[in-house]
Amino acid sequence: MYELKFDGSLCQTCPTADCLVKCQYMDLEKDEAKKQMVNIWEGKDSFVFEGCVTCYACEEYCRRGNHPFYLITEKREEKGLLTAPRAITKQWINIGEPQGKFKVGKPGERVLSFGFMPEFFKMAKGRLFQKAMPSFIFGQEFFCNVVYIHFANTSIIKKRLPMIMENFRKLGVKEVVCLHDECYGSFAHLAPAYGIEVPFKPIHYFEFLYERLKELRNDIKPLNFKVAYQRPCSSRLSPDKHRLVRDIMDLIGVRLVEREYQDENALCCGGIYAMCFGYDLANDVQRRNMDDMAKHGAEYCVFNCPACQGTLGEKVAKMGIKPIHMIELCRMAIGEA
């Protein structure tokens, strides 16, 4: 079966132990951090299992090509240590179960993946998507399943992801533009980490937007907004694409406020925390995050992930910060939204 490619010796020789030293939810010095990571690799107990809130960030912090978060997840599952209440895990596994309710537009060689987030049906329109639509797929049959690492459950991913790949293979698509960066993270990062073959080239929708906006450069009217960007957990799986946030903002004349909780220090939207760990953690993270946006004068909060927007959108709106998805922001820049 599929096994995580993890090289423990890299941890033993790691000069920084950034994976845990930089963690925003645990306070560890380098030596202790290194020790705990090695413990985890060796299958021993570690307080990290208790302290980790599943923000995915250590996947980005590790610069040596290892997969600290996947390892924590694997070991948690092996030890039967739950992150989320059983009922919540069960519910999420049920939500992702293929039920034959998928939708396929007219797929060409390049297809847009909506995952199974219906929000994209409303977003993927207008000139930005003129050439791409109606080549799309939607539904659990094409769902990347990466979310289950929040729930310390990689076995469901290992079971389902190869079947999902087979569904893509049957479509015969060559490139998949992932409108949800969880999908991109799954196809470009998680699948290779487990040796799961991906039969197409995954493309992050930021790249797609950036290229398309360049083509439509003459239609862009700079928006001149001050915005905060809500970076989702899954973005930690593809940190190389995160730089495109700034590139896109520059292109459409939007200024990112330089705030504390951005880039590597980004804070989670709190949706998963609420489900897994209760009120205090979720509330604390959301409060700090939103206060930080307000303090720096953000007029808009730009979301990459519709789920983050679902969790935080109404809350930021109540503070007078308008919630908007990155795609809608780009459409606005070309006078469409």
Which residues contact other proteins (rule: CB under 8 A)? 82, 84-88, 90-91, 94-95, 97, 99, 118, 271, 274-279, 283, 307, 310-311, 313, 318
CB of 259: closest distance to other proteins in angstroms? 23
**For the chain, the helix, strand and coil percentages under 3-state DSSP, each to the nearest 5:** 55, 10, 40
Q: Whose structure tokens read 């533009």?
A: 177
Cβ proximity of 255 and 249 under 8 Å:
yes
Compute and round to an integer the Cα radius of gyration of the chain: 20
**Two tokens, residue 42:** 């060796």
CB of 67 to other proteins, least distance (A): 25
* Closer CB to other proteins, 66 or 83, in the complex: 83
- Residue whose entry in the numeric block shows the structure tokens 């049957």: 170
How many Cα atoms sit within 13 Å of 4 on the Cβ side?
Answer: 20
Q: CB-wise, 106 or 318, nearer to other proteins? A: 318
**Minimum gap (Å) between residue 313 Cβ and other proteins:** 8
Q: Nearer to other proteins by C-beta: 1 or 279?
A: 279
Min dist CB 33 to other proteins, Å, is: 26
Burial class (CB in 10 A: 0-12, 13-18, 19+), 145: buried
- Please state the closest distance from residue 97 (CB atom) to other proteins, in A: 6
Look up residue 186 and give its DSSP letter. Answer: I
CB closer to other proteins out of 162 and 310: 310
Q: Which residue's CB is nearer to other proteins, number 97 or number 240?
A: 97
The 10 Å Cβ neighbour count of residue 222 is 12
What whole-number distance in Å separates Cα of residue 152 and Cα of residue 133?
36
φ, ψ of residue 175 in degrees (nearest 5): -130, 140
Q: Are 263 and 231 in contact (CB under 8 A)?
A: yes
State the nearest-atom distance from the C-beta of 327 to other proteins, in Å: 17
* Choice between 224 and 283, CB closer to other proteins: 283
CB of 216 to other proteins, least distance (A): 28
Task: Specify the residue, 15 or 80, whose C-beta has the smaller distance to other proteins.
Answer: 80
